[in-house]
Structures are given as C-alpha cells and as structure tokens.
C-alpha cells in the first residue's frame, strides 16, 4: 500500500470533537502514515500536542492570521515559551499556521503583519521551518520572508501564480495541494499541480475544510437538506490519485515523492515517517 503524508490537518477543529480517534484510524487504514497538525491559537497548543503524540503524528505551533484580531502581545510570548519548552520534542516540526489573509473582510493588515514578523523571528531563532497561510497575500509574504529568512517550510493551500510559486520554491518552500485539485473548474491550480516540478509538491487535506469534489454540496443541495461533507485525512489518497492522474504518474509514485518532499520541507518528519 502507498504511504501518504497529510501535511495539513486541523485535528482540534470542532468538527472532530469526540471522534478524532476514529477519524485518525480511518486515515491509517487508507495508508496515511502521518498527519501534520498545525495550531491556530495559543489556547489550543496543549491539546494539539497531545493529539499528535496520541496518534503518532506531528504538530506545529503558531497563531493563525484569522486569529490575530483576538490575539494579545502576550500570545507571542506564550508561543516563545511553548517553542522553548518543546524544543526537544521530535514531533514539533514547524511554526504554524502563520501568514497573511487579505481575502477575509475586516481583518487588520498591519496587525497581521505584526504577528507574522514576530513569529518569523521565533522560527528563525528556533531554527524551525514555517507552515504558511497564503490567501491573496503571496507577494507581501514573499517580501517578509526575504526580510526575515527562515528554514523553508510549506506554503499551504497554494493558490498563486506560476511566478509566485517559483519565488516560494527559490526560498526553500514546498507548495501544498489538496482538495481543490479535484475540481475540473480549478483550471489554474490544476495546471500548476500538473506543471510545477514534482519536487516542489506536498499533499494536504486542510481537514475538515476544502472538501474534495465528491464531498462538496452546492448551496441548493444544502438548502434541500444535504449535509456538506466533512473532509478527513482518509480522503488524501483519493486526492493524491487525482493529482497523480493529472501528472501521468502511478499513485504509489506520487505518494513516495510527496512524502519525501514533506520530509525535506519539515526535516523532523523524516525520523517519524520514512517514505515508502
């Protein structure tokens, strides 16, 4: 069976309350050897670390840009203390999920930048890669990464241009692709997934979000009572199968390549999930 790594899954999301153990069991049966569990806020750090250890997974600690409105300056200090306290934990693989979101209305861009810069400096100090949230913000993020260079990482749910993709790759980043590639109308993302160097790609679900097309329900279907499908890490092999078909690869070949890429982006993964 192919061995897959889900590089982005929110195990502490409310959709998984009380059932994460079963969700993770299904993923393991599907061939998902490891999940990377990024934090979104300081309040979730302890629980996320516990989930990663219980499931044999990896985790990242950070403050999500969508949470910066409610974050306080002491949260940066709390992240600093958590990174220090867990510096020797092999399952702590990155600082994340951090970044910028210029799509959601009502967010303070300057405040996002303040927290991003503070967290990039922490990643720099602890020698950790970062897991980036990049939503209509690629150029600004690239500027900040050039000003505060870090040890690479992953640009999660990449949705930028070919030029922006190349810039992230030059800075040592891998690009995360997930459920969006399963939609035939996602022309630009599918083209990028098809044409970018295989060595630059990693796979993710962003579970419970970004459901693949077979779980998606339209607004009219939801109005008729159909429930929106909840994405899970167990969907990763099927998502990977779509990407493999786009690239003309066997699924096992894609699984091995993207697992190696994940380990290159997040080096501590290598000791936890040997590819293949």
Binding residues for a divalent metal cation: 8, 10, 97, 133, 156, 206
pLDDT for position 218: 75
Query: Does 227 or 179 have the greater pLDDT score?
Result: 179
Convert the pLDDT of each residue in 136-189 to its tens digit: 999 999 999 999 999 999 999 999 999 999 999 999 999 999 999 999 999 999
Give me the percent of the chain exceeding a pLDDT of 90.
Answer: 92
Question: In sequence order, what are the residues at sequence separation of 6 or more whose Cβ sits closer than 8 angstroms to the Cβ of residue 73?
Answer: none
Q: Which residues contact 110 (CB under 8 A, 6 or more apart)?
A: none
Q: Is 94 helix (H, G, I), strand (E, B) or coil?
A: strand
The confidence score (pLDDT) of residue 29 equals: 97
Three-state secondary-structure class, residue 255: helix
Residue 78 binned pLDDT confidence (cut-offs 50, 70, 90): very high
The 10s digit of each residue's pLDDT in 243-261 is 999 999 999 999 999 999 9
Q: Which residue positions form the known binding site?
A: 8, 10, 97, 133, 156, 206
The pLDDT tens digits of the residues spanning 17-42 come to 999 999 999 999 999 999 999 999 99
In this prediction, residues 4-28 reach a mean pLDDT of: 97
> Tens digits of per-residue pLDDT, 180-221?
999 999 999 999 999 999 999 999 999 999 999 999 877 676
pLDDT band at 70 (very low <50, low <70, confident <90, very high): very high
Whole-number pLDDT of residue 224: 66
- Average pLDDT over the chain reads 95
> How much is the pLDDT for 276?
39
7, 256 Cβ separation under 8 angstroms? no
Cα angle: 151, vertex 152, 153; to 5 degrees: 120
Q: What percent of the chain has pLDDT over 70?
A: 95
Q: Rounded CA gap, 248 and 126, in Å?
A: 39
In whole angstroms, give the CA distance from residue 208 to residue 190. Answer: 21
User: pTM of the entire structure?
Assistant: 0.96
User: Taking the domain 4-269, which CATH number applies?
Assistant: 3.20.20.140
pLDDT at 52 over 50: yes
Cα three-residue angle 243-8-6, rounded to 5 degrees: 55
According to the model, what pLDDT value does residue 275 have? 40
The C-alpha angle with vertex 101 and arms to 65 and 221, in degrees rounded to 5, equals 105
User: Residue ranges per domain, the chain?
Assistant: 4-269
């Amino acid at each position: 069976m192919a061995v897959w790594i889900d590089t982005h899954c929110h195990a502490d999301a409310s959709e998984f309350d009380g059932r994460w153990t079963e969700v993770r069991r299904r993923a393991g049966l599907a061939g998902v050897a490891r999940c990377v569990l990024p934090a979104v806020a300081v309040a979730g750090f302890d629980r996320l670390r516990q989930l990663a250890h219980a499931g044999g997974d990896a985790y990242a600690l950070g403050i999500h840009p969508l949470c910066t409105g409610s974050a306080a300056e002491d949260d940066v200090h709390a992240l600093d203390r958590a990174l220090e306290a867990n510096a020797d934990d092999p399952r702590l693989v990155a600082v994340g999920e951090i970044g910028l979101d210029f799509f959601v209305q009502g967010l303070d861009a300057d405040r996002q930048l303040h927290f991003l810069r503070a967290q990039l400096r922490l990643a720099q100090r602890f020698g950790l890669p970062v897991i980036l949230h990049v939503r209509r913000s690629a150029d600004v993020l690239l500027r900040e990464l050039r000003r505060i260079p870090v040890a690479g990482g992953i640009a999660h749910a990449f949705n930028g241009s070919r030029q922006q993709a190349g810039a992230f790759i030059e800075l040592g980043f891998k690009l995360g692709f997930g459920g969006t590639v399963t939609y035939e109308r996602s022309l630009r993302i599918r083209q990028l997934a098809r044409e970018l160097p295989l060595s630059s790609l990693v796979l993710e679900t962003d579970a419970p979000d970004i459901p693949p097309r077979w779980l998606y329900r339209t607004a009219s279907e939801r109005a008729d009572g159909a429930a929106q499908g909840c994405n899970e890490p167990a969907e990763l092999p099927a998502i990977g199968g779509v990407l493999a078909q786009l690239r003309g690869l066997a699924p096992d070949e894609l699984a091995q390549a993207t697992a190696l890429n994940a380990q290159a982006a997040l080096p501590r993964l290598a000791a936890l999930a040997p590819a293949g």
